[in-house]
Structure 1
Amino acid sequence: MSKQLEDFIRNNRRQFDDLEPGDELWARIEQRLPQPAKEVQLKREPKTYSLGFVLKIAASIVLIMGIGFFAYLHTGKKQPGVDLAAINPEYAKQQMHYASLVEAKRTEVRTIAKADPKLYQAFSTEIEKMDATYKKLNHDLATSPNQERVLRAMIRNLQIQTQVLNQQLEVIEQYNNFKTQNHETQSI
């Protein structure tokens, strides 16, 4: 039945469209609609701020940036988040042992810095090269797929540093002995 109705409307469409509402009807409808409010544009006056207010804001920004920079510096000094004990507990102990040993030997070598700066400079150059390699290994440890191998390389580097520092301390001892023997022979 609905199909017959649709067909009837389609076939007789022109007869339905002959009656259209008049212009008077549209005018009455428009009168009943609410009138749009007239847009009142208020000019905004630019805000002015006192110098004291601006200085307070600037001081707050500087203070916040300073605190952020301070926090950044102190968090940057921490060692990357690699737990050596999680990789291999035995290697972690060895690394700690050799690192403390190297630091103690370096402190001993620094004692000659004032007495013989040239000798100290020659010694420190060698150690700085090995230390740079150690730091690179430490940096690579976090991203390495074979962390145990990198950790072994770090320990080996520390062992070599310890050997070199022991040799340097022997040279310093021999040098000091030579100086004292030479001084004694000159005084006789």
Structure 2
Amino acid sequence: MQDSLEEYIRNHRDEFEDAVPDNKVWDRVGRDLQKEEGKDRQGHSTKIRHLSRSGKRWLSAAAIFLLCISFAAFIRTYQVKTQMMNAAIPRDLQEAQAYYENRITAKIDRIKAIESIRKDNADTSLWKLFGQHDEEYMRIKRALEENPGNAHVRSAFVEYYRSRLSVLNQIEQHLGTQDSTAKRTVIK
């Protein structure tokens, strides 16, 4: 059957090429294509809609609002996390920590004052480092977070600050003795 159809088309090919559709048919096909151009396979419209200036402004205002909300949520999350970390240290140790940090800061300031009077060009980065927490502090703090009731960890926490304060006292005494011997030699 296929062969007979092919043979018929070959024999009557000229008749097929002579017939040209009317212009009305092409116009109708063009209109149908324009209607279907903005739709996907399910018939939904896929045209891109352009926003007016006021629409763009509202959209950008909404985006800025969402960014502000996200930033506020990030800040609040950070604050809560910090509070939770501080809550891991018992209240009495927080008070001890504040006490010793104030004393250490005062000692550092006194030593800096002595050095400035003597006009020594001391390395100030040492004092900046001394005022910060080191690995030992972080290790004790982690142990305290894991086991806040352990007496050994609590005493190590306080001893950490006492040792730093002791070192500063020794430095201050050493500078004080050097200063007094320097005054004695000037007086003689």
**Alignment match, 2:27:** none
Superposition pairs of residues 91-106 of structure 1, within 5 angstroms: 97-106=99-108
> Is the 8 Å Cα contact of residues 90 and 148 (structure 2) preserved in structure 1?
no
**Alignment match, 1:10:** none
Does residue 169 in structure 1 map to residue 172 in structure 2?
yes
**Alignment match, 2:122:** 118
TM-score of the aligned structures, taking structure 2 as reference length: 0.53
For residue 142 of structure 1, give the secondary structure of its aligned residue in structure 2.
helix
**Alignment match, 1:80:** 86
Superposition pairs of residues 117-136 of structure 1, within 5 angstroms: 117-118=121-122, 120-122=124-126, 127=130, 131-136=134-139
Q: 1:149 Cα deviation (Å)?
A: 1.5
Task: Find the partner of 1:54 among 43, 50, 59.
Answer: 59
Aligned counterparts of 1:75 and 1:113: Cα–Cα separation in 2: 41
CA RMSD of aligned residues (A): 3.8
Aligned counterparts of 1:142 and 1:61: Cα–Cα separation in 2: 36
Decide which structure has greater helix share.
Answer: 2
Q: 1:179 Cα deviation (Å)?
A: 4.8
Does residue 144 in structure 1 map to residue 147 in structure 2?
yes
Q: 1:178 Cα deviation (Å)?
A: 4.5
> Is the 8 Å Cα contact of residues 96 and 158 (structure 2) preserved in structure 1?
yes
- Given residue 81 of structure 1, which amino acid in structure 2 is its aligned partner? A
> Is the 8 Å Cα contact of residues 80 and 142 (structure 1) preserved in structure 2?
no
> Is the 8 Å Cα contact of residues 89 and 148 (structure 2) preserved in structure 1?
no
> Is the 8 Å Cα contact of residues 104 and 168 (structure 2) preserved in structure 1?
yes
> Is the 8 Å Cα contact of residues 95 and 155 (structure 1) preserved in structure 2?
yes
Does residue 41 in structure 1 map to residue 46 in structure 2?
no
> Is the 8 Å Cα contact of residues 89 and 145 (structure 2) preserved in structure 1?
no
Q: 1:168 Cα deviation (Å)?
A: 0.9
Greater Cα shift, 73-82 or 59-68: 73-82
Identity %: 13
For residue 80 of structure 1, give the secondary structure of its aligned residue in structure 2.
helix
Aligned counterparts of 1:130 and 1:55: Cα–Cα separation in 2: 44
Residues paired across the two proteins, number: 141
For residue 171 of structure 1, give the secondary structure of its aligned residue in structure 2.
helix
